[in-house]
Amino acid sequence: MRKVIYWVHTSVDGFVDGPNGEFDWPVMGPELAAYSEQLDDRVDTLLFGRVVWAMMAGFWPTAEQISDDAHVARFAPFWRATPKIVLSRTYAGDDWTTAVVEAEAVTELKQQDGRDLLLTGGIGAAAALTEHGLIDEYHVAVHPVVLGGGRPLFAHPTDRLNLRLVNSAVADGRIVINQYERA
């Protein structure tokens, strides 16, 4: 069965964005970029919540024209070529969206043939998939910044979520990446 991998950046105080929604604080150094690319190598489908989708679709189609960053140059073609599924009850989709499904439909996606599925960032889709027991691995990159507010990494879970630490690594001498599985 395919796995759902959740890849997310957070601040030391546990927020995925700042008090005003800002996401200008994660630093993608070469080691963090390599870690992200190793996750990409495991998957053939990208999953996004509606909020993250808007950010991604606004950047990645023409990313190389906006940035000369090496990670951007490597990830942009992968992003464009890989099927992208948006988790939403209301979004109609766009030219870059392969499909729009509700969280419950991910159960069926996991049962299909193929490689793993990668959920990138956000909290709404992650909370919905977590609630349904559909996330198999949590990869959390903790950046050395205190934001003092914003949206929390785990937004008001209804039940306790017990995780087991599988691996922990330091990237670029400053970012701690923790990999968890459901306990």
Between strands 175-182 and 4-11, the pairing is unpaired
Q: Where are the chain's structural domains?
A: 4-182
pLDDT at position 160 is 87
**pLDDT per residue over 72-102, tens digit each?**
999 999 999 999 999 999 999 999 999 999 9
Is residue 156 over pLDDT 80?
no
Confidence class of residue 17 from pLDDT cuts 50, 70 and 90? Answer: very high
**pLDDT per residue over 47-63, tens digit each?**
999 999 999 999 999 99
Q: Tell me the β-bridge partners of 167.
A: 179
Is residue 122 over pLDDT 90?
no
Q: Tell me the β-bridge partners of 164.
A: 181
Mean pLDDT of 125-153: 96
CATH fold, domain 4-182, is Dihydrofolate Reductase, subunit A (3.40.430)
- CA dist 92 and 78 (Å) reads 23
Mean pLDDT of 141-158: 91
